[in-house]
Amino acid sequence: MKIGFIGLGNMGSAMAANLLSAGHEVLAYNRSRDRVVALAERGATPVPTVAAACEGDVVFTMLADDTAVESVTFGDTGIVAALAPGAIHVSASTISVALSEKLTAAHAEAGQMFVSAPVFGRPEAAAAAKLFVVAAGPHDAVTSLQPAFEAIGQRTYVMSEEPKTANLVKLSGNFLIASVIESLGEAMALVSKAGVDRQTYLELLTSTLFAAPAYQTYGGLLARKQFEPAGFAAHLGLKDVRLVLAAGEQLEVPLPVASLIRDRFLTLLAGGGRDLDWSALGALADWEAGGPRPGSG
């Protein structure tokens, strides 16, 4: 397939590289050019504009937030204006349910197709083509995208024909990860203040009832208190919790653990932790229990 790729951050660069490795043609666009150059060395065709990235059958966007996705999608030089009828916009970004609804409507009106395909996994998983893809959109479009999804992930889960359900599920997944970080952080603060070794404790948990990647990955970062460099920055974690709370408000579903996590992300940011890995959230429990403030040096 001829695939445009817009957004070459840590995640996007790895995904685009795996599309190249799988034999796809990739038209690479990024606001800052150095990432494009790096990808060109691996075989991508650099393109100078968003519109130029829309000349294929499919264009992926993998950007930081709603604002970034809106800025490349709408307007005279945006994706909706540039994409051919019948071509597909695949949004892999973690965006709001509200924006997903808006994108679905805009592409439908322009005779194009819109598929939401947010992914689970950190940059290492993206590099290893081990992402989990959560896809939703028109059946034929999703089917035709299988080769691309297989190139970037280890498995694809199709939720429904409504793109926004994939976004809601992705947001809920990030909420569940954040709640693992928070509850593990509290538990580790407790047992370690009593003298139990954090690593031994984690090993017990992750070889028994909590033998899952979420506990292994984030528990390991928490046990080692290793919050730099960030695989996923705290301010992006806050953004996702805000989006899940907004979705909950629209649906009238209170989410008290999410509310608690939102407050704690604000505390983390107010203390200088904006660019730490979001697992630093779990170190606030140690801080409250008398330890050092995460991010304060």
Where in 95-154 is the site for a second copy (CB under 8 A)? 120, 132, 134
Query: Which of residues 258, 280, 281, 283 is near a second copy by CB under 8 A?
Result: 258
Taking CB under 8 A as the binding criterion, the range among 11-19, 44-52, 80-88, 195-203 that sits at the site for a second copy is 195-203
Q: What's CA 200's distance to the chain center, in Å?
A: 30
Any contact of residue 297 with a second copy (CB under 8 A)? no
Query: Which of residues 77, 207, 224, 229 is near a second copy by CB under 8 A?
Result: 207
The single residue listed with the structure tokens 């307007």 is: 75
Taking CB under 8 A as the binding criterion, the range among 3-11, 53-61, 78-86, 246-254 that sits at the site for a second copy is 246-254
Choose among 133, 123, 118: nearest CA to 217: 123
Nearest residue (CB) to a second copy, 14 versus 245? 245
Q: Coil, strand, or helix at residue 284?
A: helix
Taking CB under 8 A as the binding criterion, the range among 24-32, 34-42, 106-114, 187-195 that sits at the site for a second copy is 187-195
Q: Indicate if 130 belongs to the active site.
A: no
DSSP 189-231: HHHHHTT--HHHHHHHHHTTTT-SHHHHHHHHHHHHT---S-S
- To a second copy, the closest distance from the beta carbon of 134 in angstroms equals 7
Cβ-contact 90, 107 below 8 angstroms: no
Query: Which of residues 27, 28, 184, 222 is near a second copy by CB under 8 A?
Result: 184
Cβ-contact 135, 145 below 8 angstroms: yes
Any contact of residue 190 with a second copy (CB under 8 A)? yes
Q: Which of residues 264-293 bind a second copy (CB under 8 A)?
A: 264, 266-267, 269-272, 285, 288-290
CA gap 72, 141 in Å, rounded: 21
Any contact of residue 1 with a second copy (CB under 8 A)? no
Any contact of residue 41 with a second copy (CB under 8 A)? no
Query: Which of residues 244, 280, 281, 283 is near a second copy by CB under 8 A?
Result: 244
| Count of Cβ atoms closer than 10 Å to residue 2 Cβ | 14
DSSP 77-110: TSHHHHSPTT-EEEE-S---HHHHHHHHHHHHHT
CA gap 268, 236 in Å, rounded: 12
Selected catalytic residue, list 2, 130, 164, 170: 170
Any contact of residue 248 with a second copy (CB under 8 A)? yes
- To a second copy, the closest distance from the beta carbon of 8 in angstroms equals 25
Task: Give strand pairing partners of 132.
Answer: 120, 155
Nearest residue (CB) to a second copy, 113 versus 261? 261
Query: Which of residues 124, 140, 161, 249 is near a second copy by CB under 8 A?
Result: 249
Taking CB under 8 A as the binding criterion, the range among 60-68, 106-114, 137-145, 254-262 that sits at the site for a second copy is 254-262
The single residue listed with the structure tokens 């264009």 is: 59
Nearest residue (CB) to a second copy, 37 versus 270? 270
41-55: b (≥16 Cβ within 10 Å) or e: eeebbbbeebbebbb
Q: What are the catalytic residues?
A: 170
